[in-house]
Amino acid sequence: MKRFIVACVLLLGGAGPAQGQLAMPARVSINYNVNVYGVTAGEALYTFNFQGADYQATARRQITGVARNFLGDSQDFSYSSRGRIENGQVRPVAYRHEDDHRHRVVQVAFNGNEVITTATPRMGMGHPPATPEQKVGAIDQVSMFAQMLMGQEAPCNRTFRVFLDGRSRFDLVLRPNGTQQVSLPSYRGVAQRCAVQFTPIAGFSDPQRPARLTFLFANINGLTVPIVVEMPTDSVGVVRLQARSFRTATS
C-alpha cells in the first residue's frame, strides 16, 4: 500500500439503531502517532460526526519532528469522507483527499456500481488501472476504518475491499492471531491480534507484492478500536500507527 494510511469513521443511530446495529456516540476522535523504524515521525488526527444513519469524517496526517527535515511535507494529507451505514455495512457516497506536496485534490464519487475518480491536476491511474468490475463493492480508506470499528465480537474475521487514493485497489483479509497485552496512552490491557493479508489488485503506480501485516483491536466504550495498525509503504518499509488518545462525546 502506498504511504501510511490512516483514518476512521462510523455511524450513530440518532433516531435509535436498527436491530443488531451498534449505536455510536455523536462524536469520535482518535489521535495516532506514526512510527517509522521505531521512531515517531508524524501524527494523524481523525474526527467523526454522526447523525442518524449518516456519517461525516475529517482527518489530517502530517510529518513532525526530525523526520520533517528529511521528508518535508511529502506525507502531509487532509481527508474527508461521508456516507451511510446500511445493515451494518459502510456505504460511502463521497471521498476526498488533498496532497500538500503536490497540491492535488482527488475526489471519488460512489454511485451504486459506479465509482468515479476526479483529480486536479490529473494523475495516472496505475499499471494496469482498476477496472469498473474491480471497483464494485470497494470502499475508501476512511470508510475502511469505519467498518473496523464495527467489528464488535469478531474484528479478525473480515475482508476489506479497499479503493485507495482514487486509483489503487487492494484486499485486506483479517484472520485471528491470538491476543496481546498492550500498554499505550489510549489503552492498557488485552487486545485482539489479527494477521492481515494484503493483496494488491490493480491501480498502483509502482509494482506491489503481497504482504503480511498485523492489526490490534481493543474494546473501548463498546467500540472495536484499531489501536495499532502496521502498514507497508513504498519508501520506508512498514509504518506502525499507535493510538495515543481516543475520545467520544454524546453531543
Q: Which three cell numbers stand for residue 157?
A: 474475521
The structure's pTM equals 0.82
Q: How far are the Cα atoms of 94, 122, 251 from residue 118, in angstroms, in the given order?
A: 11, 8, 34
**CATH code, 27-249:** 2.40.360
Could you read off the pLDDT of 148-186 as tens digits, one per residue? 877 677 899 999 999 988 999 999 999 999 999 999 999
Could you read off the pLDDT of 11-41 as tens digits, one per residue? 222 233 333 456 777 888 899 998 877 788 7
Q: SS3 for 44?
A: strand
Q: Which three cell numbers stand for residue 27?
A: 462524536
Could you read off the pLDDT of 36-94 as tens digits, one per residue? 777 887 888 888 887 888 888 888 877 766 555 555 555 667 889 999 988 878 899 99
**Domain range summary for the chain, segments of one domain joined by +:** 27-249
